[in-house]
Amino acid sequence: MAELDELDQKILAALSADSSTSTSRLSRRFKVARSTVQARIERLERSGVIAGYTVKLGQEMTLRRIRATVLLQVEPRTTPGVLQRLKAMPEVEVAHTTTGRFDLILQVAAETTQDLDSVLDRIGTITGVKSSESLIHLSTKFDRSM
C-alpha cells in the first residue's frame, strides 16, 4: 500500500464525501496545482488505495427498497461456492464472513415484500446453505457510512 501523506488523506476524504468532485475544485480547496491532485489520484488508484468510484442512492430511492439482514449457516468447506452464487444475485448488496453461530451475514434489498421473499427462497436453495435467519429492517435511526 502507498504511504499516505496529509494531502493524500485530504483528497481521499473529499472524494469519499463526493466522488464527483473535480480535480480543479480539489486543487483550489487544497491550494496545490491541478496536475498535483491528478497525479495523486492516479497514484492512489494504481496502488489500490482507491478501488473505484460509485453512486450513492438518494433517500428517495433507498426509502422505497425493503432491506433485510440475512444470517446464514453453511456446510463446512462450501463457503466459496455459496459466495459465488450469492455474488450473482444483485439483491445481495453485502456479504460478510463472521464468527459465532452463523457463517455469513448478508445485506439484501428488494423492491417489494414479494421480491424479498423470492430472494430469501433462492438463497435457501443454494447448495451448502444449512439454515438462515432473516431480519427485516424497519427504519434507520442513524447511519455513519453515509
Gap between the Cα atoms of 95 and 93, Å rounded = 7
Query: Is the model more confident about 91 or about 59?
Result: 91
Q: C-alpha angle 111/112/118, rounded to 5°?
A: 100
**Residues spanned by CATH 3.30.70.920 within the chain?**
59-136
C-alpha angle 19-23-27 in degrees, rounded to nearest 5: 120
CATH of domain 59-136: 3.30.70.920
Per-residue pLDDT tens digits for 67-82:
999 999 999 999 999 9
The whole-angstrom separation of Cα 45 and Cα 48 is: 5
Q: Which CATH class is domain 6-46?
A: mainly alpha
Collapsed DSSP state (helix, strand, coil) of residue 71? strand
Where does the pLDDT of residue 19 fall: very low under 50, low under 70, confident under 90, or very high at 90 and above? confident
Q: Render pLDDT for 75-113 as a digit per residue (tens, 0 to 9).
A: 999 999 999 999 999 999 999 999 999 999 999 999 899
- Average pLDDT across the chain, whole number: 89
In this model, does residue 58 exceed pLDDT 70? no
Helix (H) or strand (E) holding 18: none
Question: Quick check: 65 pLDDT over 90?
Answer: no
